[in-house]
């Protein structure tokens, strides 16, 4: 298992795509912090880049890598190795590589320019999103054999989490604006890891004060120790559940 993980990580870290991804994140992060006059504004400006770029790259890169590694995976399956061991090793390798690229590209500038609670939360949420969307990529890849359809599914999943989910939430807000649905919005936000991460980071920079009563509801829940524990559990489940479903399907899939 350790040999497979080391091979996958070494292979990924040599990838030109990972190098470019890390460099782009670093350039964007340094540029944003250089243009803003405070750490809080820099974190907020960098927030949208992290919430859109990190899930997209983690999802698409992992999907393409898995399809391109189909022959390598078949070779491993032909060896006296458990299928769940193979799949866990590939997940760990991808997760470590994507998280490391994010921490180098965004984490180092954040430590240098914005070593605050909001900066730390940005790093934690970005790393969590990297893990979550690697997990989602494994599920999408193992479910769809065709490469083009699999990549298309990954793009649709990203569009749903990044754009369509917010559109559905706005529609519900308009339709039920006469009812006290703020508590329901808290629960609904848990269905999207991107939205959950956005709320956690914004609460650290006090932007919630500009969100009125809804912002107070979010702060009342996410600002408590119990709320943070529940949120952390939800993000862990977003990582574990897609991977668990993917490993169940992989174990009985005819390669």
Residue 113: the pLDDT is 85
pLDDT in tens, 106-143: 989 888 887 788 888 889 999 999 999 999 999 999 98
DSSP H helices in the chain: 2-13, 16-35, 39-68, 70-78, 83-102, 108-113, 117-143, 147-159, 165-175, 182-189, 193-204, 212-222, 225-252
Please check whether residue 218 is in contact with residue 203, taking contact to mean a CB–CB distance below 8 angstroms: yes
pLDDT in tens, 17-61: 899 999 999 999 888 888 877 777 788 888 888 888 999 999 999
Please check whether residue 230 is in contact with residue 186, taking contact to mean a CB–CB distance below 8 angstroms: no
Nearest CA among 77, 66, 91 for reference residue 5: 91
Q: Mean pLDDT score of the chain, rounded to an integer? A: 83
Highest mean pLDDT among 56-65, 141-150, 203-212 belongs to 56-65
Mention every residue, 6+ apart, whose C-beta is less than 8 A from residue 142: 246, 249, 250, 253
Instruction: State pTM to two decimals.
Output: 0.88
């Amino acid at each position: 298992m350790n040999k497979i993980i080391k091979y996958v990580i070494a292979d990924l870290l040599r990838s030109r795509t990972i190098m470019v991804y890390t460099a782009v994140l670093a350039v964007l992060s340094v540029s944003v912090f250089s243009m803003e006059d405070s750490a809080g504004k820099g974190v907020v400006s960098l927030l949208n880049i992290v919430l859109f770029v990190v899930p997209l790259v983690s999802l698409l890169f992992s999907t393409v890598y898995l399809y391109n590694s189909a022959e390598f995976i078949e070779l491993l399956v032909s060896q006296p190795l458990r299928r769940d061991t193979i799949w866990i090793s590939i997940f760990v390798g991808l997760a470590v590589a994507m998280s490391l690229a994010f921490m180098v590209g965004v984490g180092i500038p954040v430590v240098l320019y914005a070593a605050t609670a909001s900066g730390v939360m940005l790093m934690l949420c970005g790393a969590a999103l990297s893990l979550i969307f690697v997990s989602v990529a494994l599920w999408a890849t193992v479910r769809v054999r065709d490469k083009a359809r699999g990549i298309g599914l990954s793009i649709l999943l990203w569009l749903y989490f990044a754009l369509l989910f917010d559109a559905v939430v706005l529609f519900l807000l308009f339709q039920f604006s006469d009812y006290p649905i703020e508590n329901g919005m808290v629960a609904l936000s848990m269905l999207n890891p991107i939205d959950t991460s956005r709320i956690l980071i914004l609460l650290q920079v006090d932007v919630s004060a500009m969100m009125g009563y809804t912002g107070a509801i979010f702060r009342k829940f996410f600002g408590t120790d119990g709320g943070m524990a529940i949120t952390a559990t939800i993000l862990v489940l977003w990582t574990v559940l897609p991977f668990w479903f993917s490993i169940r399907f992989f174990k009985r899939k005819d390669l």
